[in-house]
Structure 1
Amino acid sequence: MHKTIQSLLSEHDGSALAIGAPDRGWMTYECLRDLAHEVADALHGMGIGKGDRVAIVLPNGPEMAAAFVSIAQVATTAPLNPAYREEEYAFYLSDLKAKALVVAEDYDGAALGAAEKAGMMVIRLRVPVGSPAGYFTLSSEHSGIVGKKDVSPDDVALILHTSGTTSRPKIVPLLQSNVAASAEHVRMSLNLTPEDRCLNVMPLFHIHGLIAAVAASLAAGASVWCAPGFDALKFFGWMKEAKPTWYTAVPTMHQAILARAARNEEIIDATRLRFLRSSSASLPAQVMLALGDTFGAPVVEGYGMTEAAHQMASNPLDDGAQKPGSVGVEAGPMVRIAHETENHLIDDIGEVVISGPNVTPGYEGNPEANEKSFFDAEGHRWFRTGDQGAFDEDGYLVLTGRLKEIINRGGEKISPLEVDGVLLDHPAVGQVVTFALPHPKLGEEVAAAVVLREGAEASAQDIRSFAATRMADFKVPRKVIIMDEIPKGATGKMQRIGLAEKLGLVEKA
């Protein structure tokens, strides 16, 4: 089993294609390995080495992918969302204790202001004209001397923050061994080979894109074609150019792709994907079935989170082995169910817990969170995911929702995912997100935001009446809001927590 990011790349055919992008030549594995040496020399010459933290603020694309892979072989990477404001950068750069910030040569955005106010080293990334996808050079006004020390499996390769929807974001350090293990887990569960090619549309400041698309592809000696972000209008044109064997995305992206699939049948027929992958949020069963019918390929739903360096479970790839509504079987770490408040495992519905080589050693500088999130039982150290679920009779994991998102209506516990599933069966409903609406007597009431299918018509009362025929009265949304678009987070996921405030249904606290 590989233990470092460098070892993931070391054995592949140097002439094989590694990283591609729109209207660019391909970077080979030999070129990628050479780039890693050049980056190491450049960073060492700036006084940056093992253990130093380097924040990266770059647009989505091949340079972001190559920067992560190469810088992580020298120092600790900390990719940040390019859409943050200066105050957010100031917080994250300080919280991370970043030594340097990498930005594009012509960048003049908010991260620069935050870095300069903090007196932080700024490193400029330049793409020489005519260079292959992902190739770059680094320059800085700073210089220094640092001893060249090889990173070890126990060194931190990647630092990310949790989303912090309900509290201060927590720092998640992922070791070289965590990243390498998770990349291998994805590679094995998807049977990736050097013949495979991933079309990446996921943001590369997020664990899903970094591990499932980039690191897993490179672990297999396969290629990854990096789009400049997600754009449903351009997706099929990219598919035609990239000729991928698979792509990975979040459910909202898949739904947007489905909406444009009918007018792109020729490209779909010509591409013949080996499979599609979905992760980072629960994929509605209806969407999984529609994707499979549209693309004529298996749809593999994976289950991942930052603290696990992404993948925890996955639907098997074998013919007919995918189970709609389930996130599959354990695919890397051990996955079990624990009591939600007591530190022991159970054989019933409860909190999903994991243990394995891909799991973070713990949150940085947050002993209280670690005390709540980790426990020892049956000879293993378990991490509490915050998700509620259970295994079915076939050993497939079915999630009922985030514990924090479970709606408590006067003592009745309601799974938002269950309500989503019912409302999506309405022929006019294209997207839905069920969420908690504060209620003065019941504590919380059920509400749902809905996007109708193109050309379809339905009223909020129509949808409520439909739901009333399918579920107990206390689960039926008391409020249904029909919208053109549901607000999403930076990674394309719909966020239930705080949605009532975002939609102006309650006063902000």
Structure 2
Amino acid sequence: MSTNTLAHLLNPASSSDDSIIIPDGPTLSYAQYSDEIERIAGLLAGAGVKPGRPVSIVLVNNLEFMVLFLAVARAGAIAAPLNSAYTVDEFKFFMEDADSQLAIVPPGTHLGRDAADQLGIPVLDASLDGSKVVLSNSGGNITKSADAQAPSPDDVALFLHTSGTTSRPKGVPLTHANLMKSISNIKNHYELTPEDTSIIVMPLFHVHGLMGASLSTLNSGGSLVIPERFSASSFWGLQKDNNATWYSAVPTIHQILLMRADDDNAPHESFRFIRSCSSALAPAVFERLEARFGAPVLEAYGMTEASHQMSSSPMPPGKRIPGTVGQATGVEVAIMDMAATGQLQKTGDIGEIVIKGENVMHGYNNNPEANAEAFVDGWFRTGDQGFLDAEGYLSLTGRIKELINRGGEKISPLEIDGILLKHPAVAEAVCFAVPDEKYGEVVHAAVVLNGDTDQEGIRAYCREQMADFKVPDVVYIADALPRTATGKIQRRHMVTAFAEGK
């Protein structure tokens, strides 16, 4: 069995060290966790799970998920985790697109179960008995075990879908070798050791929570604290009780923790580092985070097709430059001309960010048209626009398809977001394009306030900070901004949420 697979992910300094800590639940040592993965892999094989085919995992952040994910991979099958909050139609699309052989769901009524039943996909329930995972179906608990086939590095281990920010979600198959390279890159970059403990606040069905925080920590021999969901009110208690050394989150969660910091008696010296990823972190939020929590903030850049991380701010004493996503981490990063002819840009020139590396997928699932468009001369096109400076620090200027074209002037939404967030009364902000008869598109913005101001006050502030053509024509004051389950803002939904019918 090759060691470059998820079957050899766990890397404890001692098998008695804690691996998984469930608040108000069990704590598993590495020995217990490893035994449980092997036991469940055998039960899956005994239940007829075939190597090389996906298994849809419809579970929240819990011990069952962490065992089932690695057990499916250990059995040579493909883990296909799904957001447990999907609708029946969403479950059906993702299960059918993956050609799932089995769905694993919680006991009781669940839309994931309904979707699988409608598609004729067998279902197993996953529950917990103490620290043991129980698999069952209508016939009772699964007890028959068989030898699980060991995976190889080139086997697909994980099947996910793109977030579909600009189009229909595409299937992304990632091999064991892809994942292990990404995990190694993350572990090495953040200098993770068995002394580290990470609080998991991101969903495990997404690469940020799964790869960026969980599997990388397990590969370092560290410990994971896994609450079922993020709760700002209990976050600092978990940090203190478990001596947690880091966490990774989207800017939304960082901003929530900042807004509540004083009320929650958050410490002024906290983690070894704080990681931010999956959405742009405004420089103003970066500075407030470091000042309030007394820890270096490292912004990372990742995407599903790259098994997550591509670049990150360096660890101290390296420079952290707000507004950048740091330097490449075990991946080649370059800037290609916007026509995607294969011509690479000079330092400082803006273009499309392209990548190469062992962590990059080999191609979308059954989608030759998308693959022909996505790869140029061996480079994968990220769809993001940005530039590299002389020291290799990468700055993102926006999703290419989200740039606002106002009368021929191309406007970066990230730039406007960053300026809005510098306003002392603005807690959250997003700008977006709205169709316009005269200019083609104009800029609108939505904000959540934490102070006293109004639309005209914000627009006046913007006029002091940016050229007139970039100033939002309309600013919507909102109680909250619509987000995906992973905390991302999808700009294409903002017009429907705020501008239509206004």
Alignment TM-score, normalising by the size of structure 1: 0.93
**Offset at 1:168?**
1.7
| Residue pair 1:327, 1:397 contacting (<8 A) in 2 also | yes
Matching residue of 1:472: 467
Cα distance in 2 for residues equivalent to 1:254 and 1:386: 26
Matching residue of 1:96: 98
Matching residue of 1:483: 478
Q: Say if 1:487 and 1:11 are closer, same or farther in 2 by CA, change over 3 A.
A: closer
> 2:81 aligned with 1:79, yes or no?
yes
**Offset at 1:505?**
2.5
The equivalent position to 1:311 in structure 2, one of 309, 316, 321, is: 309
Matching residue of 1:38: 39
**Offset at 1:230?**
1.7
Q: For 1:490-505, what aligned pairs fall within 5 Å after superposition? A: 490-505=485-500
Matching residue of 1:404: 401
Matching residue of 2:370: 369
Matching residue of 1:383: 380
**Offset at 1:2?**
5.8
Cα distance in 1 for residues equivalent to 2:307 and 2:492: 23
Amino acid at match of 1:452: L
Matching residue of 1:284: 282
| Residue pair 1:45, 1:145 contacting (<8 A) in 2 also | yes
**Offset at 1:227?**
1.4
**Offset at 1:145?**
9.4
For the residue of structure 2 that corresponds to 1:48, the secondary structure is coil
| Residue pair 1:400, 1:418 contacting (<8 A) in 2 also | yes
Alignment: residue pair count = 494
| Residue pair 2:11, 2:220 contacting (<8 A) in 1 also | no
Matching residue of 1:218: 218
Amino acid at match of 2:456: Q
Amino acid at match of 1:478: D
Q: Say if 1:103 and 1:292 are closer, same or farther in 2 by CA, change over 3 A.
A: same
| Residue pair 2:55, 2:103 contacting (<8 A) in 1 also | yes
**Offset at 1:139?**
2.8
Matching residue of 1:163: 163
Matching residue of 1:182: 182
**CA displacement 1:186-239 (0-9 Å, x = unmatched):** 101110000000000101111100001111001101111111122223322332
**CA displacement 1:134-183 (0-9 Å, x = unmatched):** x4132345899987421000111110111223322100001111111111
| Residue pair 2:64, 2:127 contacting (<8 A) in 1 also | no
**CA displacement 1:277-323 (0-9 Å, x = unmatched):** 00000101111111111111100111001001100000001136211
| Residue pair 2:101, 2:122 contacting (<8 A) in 1 also | yes
For the residue of structure 2 that corresponds to 1:494, the secondary structure is coil
Higher mean C-alpha deviation, range 250-259 or range 41-50: 41-50
| Residue pair 1:65, 1:214 contacting (<8 A) in 2 also | no
Alignment TM-score, normalising by the size of structure 2: 0.95
Matching residue of 2:22: 21
| Residue pair 1:49, 1:149 contacting (<8 A) in 2 also | no
**Offset at 1:111?**
0.8
The equivalent position to 2:457 in structure 1, one of 459, 462, 482, is: 462
Q: For 1:149-298, what aligned pairs fall within 5 Å after superposition? A: 149-265=149-265, 267-269=266-268, 272-298=270-296
Matching residue of 1:426: 423
Cα distance in 1 for residues equivalent to 2:100 and 2:55: 6
Amino acid at match of 1:119: G
> 2:410 aligned with 1:413, yes or no?
yes
Matching residue of 1:394: 391
Cα distance in 2 for residues equivalent to 1:362 and 1:88: 23
* Identical-residue share of aligned pairs (%): 45
| Residue pair 1:387, 1:399 contacting (<8 A) in 2 also | yes
Cα distance in 1 for residues equivalent to 2:63 and 2:430: 33
Gaps of 5+ in 1: none
**CA displacement 1:103-161 (0-9 Å, x = unmatched):** 12x231111111111221111112013x2xxx413234589998742100011111011
For the residue of structure 2 that corresponds to 1:127, the secondary structure is strand
Cα distance in 2 for residues equivalent to 1:359 and 1:273: 30
For the residue of structure 1 that corresponds to 2:379, the secondary structure is strand
**Offset at 1:27?**
0.8
Cα distance in 2 for residues equivalent to 1:36 and 1:280: 29
For the residue of structure 2 that corresponds to 1:449, the secondary structure is strand
| Residue pair 2:397, 2:415 contacting (<8 A) in 1 also | yes
Amino acid at match of 1:114: A
| Residue pair 2:185, 2:329 contacting (<8 A) in 1 also | yes
| Residue pair 2:443, 2:471 contacting (<8 A) in 1 also | yes
| Residue pair 1:73, 1:157 contacting (<8 A) in 2 also | no
Cα distance in 1 for residues equivalent to 2:188 and 2:501: 46
